[in-house]
A and B are shown apart, each in its own frame.
Chain A
Amino acid sequence: METILNYLGYFFVSIGAVFLVLGAFGILRMPDFYTRIQAGTKSSTLGAMSFIFGVGLLEPAWFIKTLVIVVFIAISNPISSHALARGAYKSHHQPYLKDGVDAYKEVENQKEVKL
């Protein structure tokens, strides 16, 4: 039983590490701030979740605490990416758009007129 848990733990830790590396690679390759957030948030969320879950399997005494951390990461990571993107847009950081689809622009323009 313990060896199975160990193997599972190492499995999840390695998966997490792979996704974290892919996320770093994504941040390097993407063309602008918003697409970098895309790559960064997703892989860092699953990477960190899987890594910490694996640690919980390796150390069964910590398992419940690691579960709480996993849930906390799943809730807080997307919120931070939303706050970063919104803040960047509000300070007029233009997104890289291939086809020029930008529905959010109208909202921002309306606000400036009202002010």
Chain B
Amino acid sequence: MENVSKISRLVYTWVVLFALWMAFTTSLALDEVLVGLAISFVVAAMTFSYFTQIGLKAFSPKKIMYQIQYLIIFIVALVKANFHVAKIVLTPSLPINPGIVEFETKLNSDIAKMILANSITLTPGTFTVDVIENRFYVHWLEVETEDSEKVYKAIAESFEKILLKIYE
């Protein structure tokens, strides 16, 4: 992870920021594109060390496949989560058993942990209260178990498998 060159990380940040610029301006006029290239380069030079740790490797076909797979799993989980909450809210007896559980993640990269925490927040019945080192503290609407292995299997495994392939 540490051996990714600075140039690769800089170029990756530049490409992403320039794509964002193009999305906002939605114009192919030469002067706007040139200004966009310049500004996104300056911002990329200032922020690439926070922005990415794997650099251009993120664009390799394999990793793009995993990113698309992650996106699909994530959207399915998000829709499921909403129906889950809707079902609980519309049940007159309000069937909840809330509690805060913890589990350990195998991820090392900060960005990957952030994505995992965000995904947990948007999946059925759970949201991340805090992340300390590699321990996640998760508020769960229907606590089934306290055992951190089982919690990990129930909450995080499906996301983490893919994140490990993208970021490690």
Contact = CB atoms under 8 A, between A and B. Distances in A.
Interface of A: 19, 22-23, 25-26, 29-32, 34-35, 37-39, 41-43, 45-46, 61, 64-65, 67-68, 74-75, 77-79, 81-82, 85-86, 89, 95-105, 107
Interface of B: 20, 23-24, 26, 78-79, 81-82, 85-86, 88-90, 94, 96-102, 117-118, 121-122, 125, 127-130, 132, 137, 139, 141, 143, 146
A84 to B, nearest CB: 10
6 contacts: A22-B85, A35-B98, A42-B81, A86-B129, A89-B130, A104-B130
Where chain A touches its partner, the secondary structure class is: helix
Contacts of B100: 95, 97, 101-105
Contacts of B86: 19, 22, 26, 43
A29 B82 CA distance: 15
Given A85-B129, A98-B98, A78 B121 contact: yes
A19 B84 CA distance: 12
Contacts of A42: 78, 81-82, 85, 122
Contacts of A65: 23-24, 26
